[in-house]
């Protein structure tokens, strides 16, 4: 089971949203390119974004091939990046925290084995333990 499934049959609304996103995204990318003295590339990106944006708003089915192409091209990138991010999170954050706890001797679940202990039961005292009315007021 994949984390993200490719939408092979986008609705007209999906294609319109894609057109608007392309219009905005290409506008931003074109502005960044122009700020780096790449005016020709910026104009090309603006033209592509404007074309896809206008087509997406006026005739969404015409944008479907571009939508599917970009979805298929970007899916492997998202798949790899998501797995790398999850692996880094697990091995750096979770495993690192566990190793640090072991090094400093912290046992938050109190799982140490005590062979001489008669029981591992730890009685808890509540502020109003004798009051039976608290069972009817749980929250």
Give residue 2's pLDDT. Answer: 60
Token pair, residue 49, equals: 């974004």
Q: pLDDT tens track of the chain, all 139 residues?
A: 466 788 899 999 999 999 999 999 999 999 999 998 898 999 999 999 999 999 999 999 999 999 999 999 999 998 899 899 999 999 999 999 999 999 998 988 888 888 888 888 888 777 766 777 777 877 7
Instruction: For residue 18, give the H/E element and its range.
Output: helix 12-35
Distance, in Å, from the CA atom of 82 to the CA atom of 75, rounded to the nearest integer, reads: 11
CA 26 to the chain's CA centroid: 23
pTM of the model: 0.62
Among residues 63, 62, 82, which one has the least CA distance to residue 21? 63
For Cα atoms 118, 122, 127, give the angle at the middle one, nearest 5 degrees: 150
Beta carbons of 66 and 29 less than 8 angstroms apart? no
């Amino acid at each position: 089971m994949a984390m993200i499934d490719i939408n092979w049959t986008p609705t007209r609304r999906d294609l319109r949203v894609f057109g608007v996103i392309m219009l905005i995204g290409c506008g931003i990318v074109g502005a960044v390119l122009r700020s780096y003295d790449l005016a020709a590339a910026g104009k090309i990106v603006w033209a592509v974004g404007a074309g896809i944006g206008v087509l997406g708003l006026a005739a969404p089915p015409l944008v479907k091939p571009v939508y599917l192409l970009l979805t298929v091209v970007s899916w492997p990138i998202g798949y790899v990046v998501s797995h790398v991010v999850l692996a880094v999170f697990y091995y750096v954050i979770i495993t690192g925290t566990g190793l640090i706890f072991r090094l400093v001797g912290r046992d938050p679940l109190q799982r140490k084995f005590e062979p001489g202990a008669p029981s591992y039961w730890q009685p808890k005292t509540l502020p109003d333990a004798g009051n039976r009315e608290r069972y009817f007021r749980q929250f």
